[in-house]
Amino acid sequence: MDYKILVNKDNTLDKSYIPDDLVDALSSYRDGILINKLVLKQFNLMREDAKKLGYNIDIMSGYRDYMYQEAIYNKLLKEKGFAYTFRSIAKPGTSEHQTGLAIDICIYKGDKCYIEHEVEDSEEINWLINNSHKYGFILRYPKNMEDRTGYNYEPWHYRYVGDIAEYLYKNNLLLEDYFSS
Ligand SMILES: [Zn+2]
């Protein structure tokens, strides 16, 4: 498994691409979320450390196959139109979620789980932004990088990249920069 794989609007995955090593994330948010085995191991380490600070994080979305991505893309397209959809969700074949290496993180406060824009500016997210690299993750769609990533700020979306995470974080680089340097 290549943990540095680049998937974006220009670097696409085949419809038939299904990653190896998918396991059940055992998320309390939803049953049946699959992610890469090593990604789960690293997420669990991060979650344990978050817990020590009183933060309760979990995975609300992991691996999505091509057909599923196609379904949610078409649904949003119908509801919100192309301009909104283009910056908000990946077209099928261009989603990192198809690699099994990307996770969307939700935050529990008591029994309530907060997702997507609800988690913005929370203590938990600030901690993840500045510490997830220690576990091999990067914030994939940072603030003020919309023109370069092609996506709106997504404080909940983290991508496992392995040992280059620290380098990218410390130099404020996108995964794209790693491939163009
Ligand atoms: Zn995501």
Q: What is the pLDDT of residues 24-52, one digit of tens each?
A: 999 999 999 999 999 999 999 999 999 99
128 is a domain residue: yes
pLDDT in tens, 63-82: 999 999 999 999 999 999 99
- Calculate mean pLDDT across residues 113-136: 96
pLDDT in tens, 146-180: 999 999 999 999 999 999 999 999 999 999 999 98
Alpha helices in 2-95 (DSSP H): 37-52, 66-80, 82-88
Residue 104 has pLDDT above 90, yes or no: yes
Reported as half-sphere exposure (CB side, CA atoms, 13 A), residue 164 has a value of: 17
7 is a domain residue: no
Ligand 1 centroid–CA 102 distance in Å is 6
Task: Please give the pLDDT value at position 76.
Answer: 95
Q: Is the CB of residue 15 less than 8 Å from the CB of residue 93? A: yes
Between the alpha carbon of residue 105 and those of residues 13, 61, 62, the distances in Å are: 23, 7, 9
- 3-state secondary structure (DSSP) of residue 75: helix
Nearest to 159 by CA among 26, 61, 24: 61
Give residues whose Cβ lies within 5 Å of ion ligand 1. 104, 157
Q: Is the CB of residue 119 less than 8 Å from the CB of residue 29? A: no
15 is a domain residue: no
Q: Residue 1's pLDDT band (boundaries 50, 70, 90)?
A: confident
Q: Is the CB of residue 149 less than 8 Å from the CB of residue 88? A: no
56 is a domain residue: yes
Domain that holds residue 50: 22-180
Overall number of domains in the chain: 1
How far is it, in rounded angstroms, from Cα 93 to Cα 114?
Answer: 28
How far is it, in rounded angstroms, from Cα 175 to Cα 172?
Answer: 10
10 is a domain residue: no
Ligand 1 centroid–CA 88 distance in Å is 10
Ligand 1 centroid–CA 57 distance in Å is 15
54 is a domain residue: yes
73 is a domain residue: yes
Q: What is the mean pLDDT of the chain?
A: 95
Instruction: Return the exposure string of 12-35: e unless at least 16 CB atoms fall within 10 Å of the residue's CB, then b.
Output: bbeeeeebeebbebebebeeebbb
Q: Which residues are catalytic?
A: 154
Ligand 1 centroid–CA 89 distance in Å is 8
The CATH number given to whatever domain includes residue 55 is: 3.30.1380.10
